[in-house]
């Protein structure tokens, strides 16, 4: 594996499977009453969050702590960053403190690439602008695999604001690597103009795609997008691209519903769909911790997993 | 003033000849001239003599951003790049939208003395795109402004653009448009295409440039005015300009050296790392197809000239995440080498063609007297001597510009300016400031 996890495209098929298999082993640990492993004892993981995202931060924090790493949470709010300190100065500070891994969330696409130029530790992209969110894609793949088995040939439909979605970009890349067939469904305004060059199919017709889907992943759609004329109204969006009970009924019986959260209930997904047994939404949160443990473990070359629980 | 005898330079790539320079003029040409008493002799064998280069598009940053560049440092860079005249863009602070500011910039250029500085006047007050600046006052000032531009911003209001085009006819001015439809480029970060889609950066679509160029060509035709299009960057723009010229309309255009060489995939993968804002520029780097179309258009004359869009920025404005970084690249000291690489070594232009596109045409568009003249007896001695066989690794630390934001670091470029003469006085000798 490479030293950093910045893009899902950085992962070979073997890398991706290794992460998923390692997560599977670590999932066993999570079921024990004592969930902590000593493998990253003495290593420092910095959570560098320039954007509010409590759920992603605590997921990484829990993952690092379960591996016994020292965790430093560095939130841009209330720090020198909000007083105009540059990303580079923040990076140099972290470098001086000797961070072994930096988990970065930033509103600017490409911020993790820049950070990787300035610090020696491993960089884990926890979401950069509208670019990528590779650990989300890994936990999604992990969740799918647990429900459906190997992903080769599985048909995954991703619905919603692909243009602004880092989750969609990472998922398209990772799922293609893992041999799944991805179809993106969105109003044409919410697809990049160049989406035809991506390793996936495109459709504007959700109802046509649902019966052929093993997985339907709904993306969050911000209501404010309608102000920039991406779609006329929340109601029309919901009618054409929302997953409601009727549409759930058109999916094969084995097919699952996913959402990276946070959800707009009633907008892209109906409450009864989100809460149905077909939904993996709560599992995705649990699996998020597990997959992030696997990523940190593999990037930081932790001691043998067989060390057992403390 | 010292006389100079330039021995054996290839005149715009043609036969070698000697040039005797005295009192600011070329006074004698021919083979085997002997140096008169007191004249200095320059061995120019193997060098190409070009008329002094003229840049229609330079950001000297003074007044206001003297941390990035000053008239002094920027014109040193210009002289070292072989330029004898540069047009200083108006987006300074304060904006060059009054006779006072353009005269200040013009005087700073005179005092520095490295090359002629021709201030560009803003089209609208404060570049705000709302009402016309006092274009006539700037034209009548000591700076004799003839080129007007809101560069950095587009004069997007069609009525305002129409009026500006009409108004400057009274003093033979030209509106140099930064063609960028603002609504189509809100928060735009790079060329909209496959790379921007993958990188998750907001796209700057080609149509945002092309739509404005098409509109402006039609406006210029309607009112019978002169239009100049700044930094053309797309194949579609080339088609529109070619069409406008075929109608006989008075439309001229420029292309930057970087748009003749670099493409948007550098944002995704380059030795400088992905998302390195050294490649962030406005208009953005486009695709290989666009580069090919721009080269062909410069070769066939659809695009009249090369202009640097030299845009200095201090290190901290570039060492940032892509979205927060400033747009622009420096280019005065690399312009001629990049043109040699992209146009001459590809066989698209000969040296006479380079002289046309980097001196004669821009001097004519800017109405710059005494520049862009053929190298012949009686012409003002504005000259550039280039060693086309030199190969130099680009070292930003060696630039005279105050800024270091070059996209060519580490690249080996052909051609080196050995000497520059401004009205018979050397500003550069042996590749160094004289």
Q: How far is Cα B168 from Cα B366, in angstroms, rounded to an integer?
A: 13
Does the residue B372 lie in any domain?
no
Q: How far is Cα A241 from Cα B203, in angstroms, rounded to an integer?
A: 24
Task: Please indicate, yes or no, whether residues B172 and B23 belong to a single structural domain of this protein.
Answer: no
Nearest to B6 by CA among B337, B301, B429, B433: B429
Taking only the tens place, the pLDDT of each residue in A121-148 is 999 999 999 999 999 999 999 999 999 9
Q: How far is Cα B57 from Cα B281, in angstroms, rounded to an integer?
A: 14
Task: Please indicate, yes or no, whether residues B389 and B407 belong to a single structural domain of this protein.
Answer: yes
Indicate yes or no: CB of A108 within 8 angstroms of CB of B273.
Answer: no
Q: How confident is the model at residue A310 (pLDDT cuts 50, 70, 90)?
A: very low
Task: Please indicate, yes or no, whether residues B235 and B350 belong to a single structural domain of this protein.
Answer: yes
Does the residue B370 lie in any domain?
no
Q: Hey, is the C-beta of B315 within 8 angstroms of any chain A C-beta? A: no
Task: Please indicate, yes or no, whether residues B181 and B269 belong to a single structural domain of this protein.
Answer: yes
Q: How far is Cα A129 from Cα A74, in angstroms, rounded to an integer?
A: 18
Q: How far is Cα B349 from Cα B213, in angstroms, rounded to an integer?
A: 26
Residue A48 sits in a domain of what CATH number? 3.40.50.1370
Q: Hey, is the C-beta of B1 within 8 angstroms of any chain A C-beta? A: no
Nearest to B369 by CA among B357, B382, B355, B383: B382
Question: Tell me, what's the pLDDT at A303?
Answer: 61
Does the residue A104 lie in any domain?
yes
Task: Please indicate, yes or no, whether residues B393 and B316 belong to a single structural domain of this protein.
Answer: no
Task: Please indicate, yes or no, whether residues B78 and B172 belong to a single structural domain of this protein.
Answer: yes
Q: How far is Cα A150 from Cα A55, in angstroms, rounded to an integer?
A: 28
Q: What is the mean pLDDT of residues A165-177?
A: 98
Cβ contact A269:A206 at 8 Å: no
Mean pLDDT over the full length of chain A: 92
Of B325, B343, B365, which residue constitutes the final position of a domain? B365
Question: Tell me, what's the pLDDT at A83?
Answer: 54
Task: Please indicate, yes or no, whether residues A120 and A90 belong to a single structural domain of this protein.
Answer: yes
Chain B residues with beta carbon closer than 8 angstroms to that of A111:
275, 321-322
Interface probe, candidates B275, B313, B316, chain A, greatest A C-beta count within 10 A: B275
Q: How confident is the model at residue A81 (pLDDT cuts 50, 70, 90)?
A: low
Cβ contact A166:A128 at 8 Å: yes
Range of the domain at B91: 51-365
Task: Please indicate, yes or no, whether residues B55 and B110 belong to a single structural domain of this protein.
Answer: yes
Does the residue B374 lie in any domain?
no
| CA-based nearest residue in chain B for residue A132 | B200
Chain A residues with beta carbon closer than 8 angstroms to that of B198:
169, 194, 198
Cβ contact B410:B392 at 8 Å: no
**Residue found by looking up tokens 């080769």 in the block:** A152
Does the residue A2 lie in any domain?
no
Cβ contact A161:A225 at 8 Å: yes
pLDDT of A309 higher than 50: no
Question: Tell me, what's the pLDDT at A32?
Answer: 83
Which residues are CB-neighbours of B230 under 8 A, at least 6 positions away? Answer: B57, B149, B151, B176, B177, B178, B179, B254, B307, B309
- Residue B357 DSSP class: I
CA max distance for chain B: 67
Q: Enumerate residue ranges in chain B where pLDDT < 70.
A: none
Residue B399 sits in a domain of what CATH number? 2.30.40.10
Following CA atoms B147, B151, B156, B158 in sequence, which dihedral angle do they give, to the nearest 10 degrees? 0
Question: Tell me, what's the pLDDT at A77?
Answer: 63
Interface probe, candidates A114, A125, A164, chain B, greatest B C-beta count within 10 A: A114
Q: How confident is the model at residue A28 (pLDDT cuts 50, 70, 90)?
A: confident
Task: Please indicate, yes or no, whether residues B272 and B396 belong to a single structural domain of this protein.
Answer: no
Q: How confident is the model at residue A302 (pLDDT cuts 50, 70, 90)?
A: low
Task: Specify the pTM.
Answer: 0.94
pLDDT of A174 higher than 70: yes
pLDDT of A82 higher than 70: no
Task: Please indicate, yes or no, whether residues B323 and B352 belong to a single structural domain of this protein.
Answer: yes
Q: How confident is the model at residue A307 (pLDDT cuts 50, 70, 90)?
A: very low
Cβ contact B84:B57 at 8 Å: no
The number of distinct structural domains making up chain B is 2
Cβ contact A185:A206 at 8 Å: yes
Residue A105 bears catalytic tag:
yes
Q: What is the mean pLDDT of residues A200-226?
A: 94
Indicate yes or no: CB of A192 within 8 angstroms of CB of B196.
Answer: yes
Element (H or E) spanning A175, and its range? Answer: helix A166-177
Interface of B with A in 171-210 (CB under 8 A): 189, 192-194, 196-203, 205
Task: Please indicate, yes or no, whether residues B234 and B353 belong to a single structural domain of this protein.
Answer: yes
Residue B344 sits in a domain of what CATH number? 3.20.20.140
Lowest mean pLDDT among A27-41, A68-82, B65-79, B294-308: A68-82
pLDDT of A84 higher than 70: no
Indicate yes or no: CB of A86 within 8 angstroms of CB of B316.
Answer: yes
Q: How far is Cα B243 from Cα B246, in angstroms, rounded to an integer?
A: 5
pLDDT of A1 higher than 90: no
Range of the domain at A106: 8-133+285-307
Task: Please indicate, yes or no, whether residues A113 and A158 belong to a single structural domain of this protein.
Answer: no
Question: Tell me, what's the pLDDT at A30?
Answer: 76
Active-site residue identified among A3, A32, A55, A77: A55
pLDDT of A6 higher than 80: yes
The number of distinct structural domains making up chain A is 2
Task: Please indicate, yes or no, whether residues B342 and B414 belong to a single structural domain of this protein.
Answer: no
In the three-class reduction of DSSP (H, G, I as helix; E, B as strand; rest coil), residue B113 is classed as: coil
Task: Please indicate, yes or no, whether residues B218 and B335 belong to a single structural domain of this protein.
Answer: yes
């Amino acid at each position: 594996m490479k030293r950093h996890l910045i893009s899902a495209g950085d992962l070979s098929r073997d890398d991706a499977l290794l992460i998923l298999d390692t997560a599977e082993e670590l999932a066993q640990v999570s079921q024990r009453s004592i969930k902590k492993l000593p493998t990253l004892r003495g290593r420092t993981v910095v959570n560098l969050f320039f954007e509010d995202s409590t759920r992603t931060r605590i997921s990484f924090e829990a993952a690092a702590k379960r591996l016994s790493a020292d965790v430093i949470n560095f939130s841009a709010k209330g720090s020198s960053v909000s007083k105009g300190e540059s990303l580079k100065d923040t990076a140099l500070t972290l470098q001086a403190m000797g961070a072994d891994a930096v988990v970065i969330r930033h509103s600017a696409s490409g911020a993790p690439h820049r950070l990787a130029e300035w610090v020696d530790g491993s960089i884990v992209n926890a979401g950069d602008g509208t670019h990528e969110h590779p650990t989300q894609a890994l936990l999604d793949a992990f969740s799918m695999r647990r429900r459906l088995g190997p992903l080769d040939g599985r048909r995954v439909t991703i619905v919603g604001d692909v243009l602004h979605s880092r989750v969609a970009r990472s998922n398209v890349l990772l799922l293609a690597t893992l041999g799944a067939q991805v179809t993106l469904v969105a109003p044409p305004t919410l697809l990049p103009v160049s989406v035809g060059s991506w390793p996936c199919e495109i459709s504007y017709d959700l109802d046509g795609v649902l019966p052929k889907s093993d997985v339907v992943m709904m993306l969050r759609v911000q209501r404010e997008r309608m102000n920039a004329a991406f779609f006329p109204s929340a109601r029309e969006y919901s009618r054409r691209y929302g997953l409601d009970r009727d549409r759930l009924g058109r999916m094969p019986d084995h097919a699952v519903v996913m959402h990276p959260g946070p959800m707009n209930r009633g907008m892209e997904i109906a409450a009864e769909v989100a809460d149905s047994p077909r939904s993996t939404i709560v599992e995705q949160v649990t699996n998020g911790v597990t997959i992030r443990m696997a990523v940190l473990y593999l990037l930081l070359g932790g001691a043998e997993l067989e060390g057992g629980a403390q | 003033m010292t006389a100079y005898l330039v021995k054996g330079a290839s005149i715009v790539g043609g036969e070698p000849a000697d040039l005797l320079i005295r009192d600011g003029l070329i006074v004698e040409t021919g083979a085997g001239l002997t140096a008169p008493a007191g004249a200095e002799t320059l061995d120019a064998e193997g060098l190409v003599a070009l008329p002094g280069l003229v840049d229609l598009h330079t950001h000297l940053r003074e007044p206001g951003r003297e941390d990035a560049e000053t008239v002094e440092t920027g014109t040193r860079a210009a002289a070292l790049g072989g330029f004898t005249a540069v047009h200083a863009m108006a987006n300074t602070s304060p904006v060059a939208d009054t006779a006072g500011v353009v005269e200040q910039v013009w005087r700073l250029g005179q005092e520095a003395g490295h090359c002629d500085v021709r201030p560009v006047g803003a089209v609208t007050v404060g570049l705000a795109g709302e009402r016309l600046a006092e274009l006539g006052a700037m034209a009548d000032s000591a700076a004799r402004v003839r080129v007007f531009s809101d560069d950095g911003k587009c004069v997007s209001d069609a009525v305002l653009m129409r009026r500006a085009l009409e108004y400057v006819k009274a003093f033979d001015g030209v509106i140099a448009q930064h063609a960028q439809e603002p609504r189509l480029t809100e928060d735009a970060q790079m060329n909209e295409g496959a790379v921007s889609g993958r990188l998750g950066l907001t796209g700057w679509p080609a149509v945002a440039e092309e739509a404005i160029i098409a509109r402006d060509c039609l406006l210029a035709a309607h009112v019978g005015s002169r239009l100049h299009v700044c930094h053309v960057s797309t194949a579609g723009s080339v088609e529109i300009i070619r069409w406008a010229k075929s109608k006989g309309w008075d439309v001229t255009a420029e292309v930057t050296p970087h748009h003749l060489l670099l493409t948007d995939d550098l944002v995704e993968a380059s030795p400088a790392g992905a998302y390195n804002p050294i490649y962030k520029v406005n208009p953005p780097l486009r695709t290989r197809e666009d580069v090919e179309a721009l080269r062909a258009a410069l070769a066939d004359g659809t695009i009249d000239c090369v202009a640097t869009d030299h845009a200095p920025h201090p290190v901290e404005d570039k060492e940032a995440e892509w979205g927060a970084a400033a747009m622009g690249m420096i280019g005065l000291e690399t312009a001629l080498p990049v043109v040699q690489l992209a146009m001459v070594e590809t066989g698209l232009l000969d040296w006479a063609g380079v002289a046309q596109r980097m001196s004669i045409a821009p001097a004519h568009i800017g109405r710059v007297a005494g520049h862009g003249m053929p190298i012949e007896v009686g012409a003002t001695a504005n000259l550039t001597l280039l060693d086309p066989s030199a190969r130099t690794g680009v070292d930003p630390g060696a630039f005279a510009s105050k800024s270091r934001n070059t996209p060519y670091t580490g690249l080996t470029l052909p051609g080196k300016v050995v000497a520059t003469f401004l009205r018979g006085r050397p500003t550069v000798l042996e590749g160094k400031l004289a």
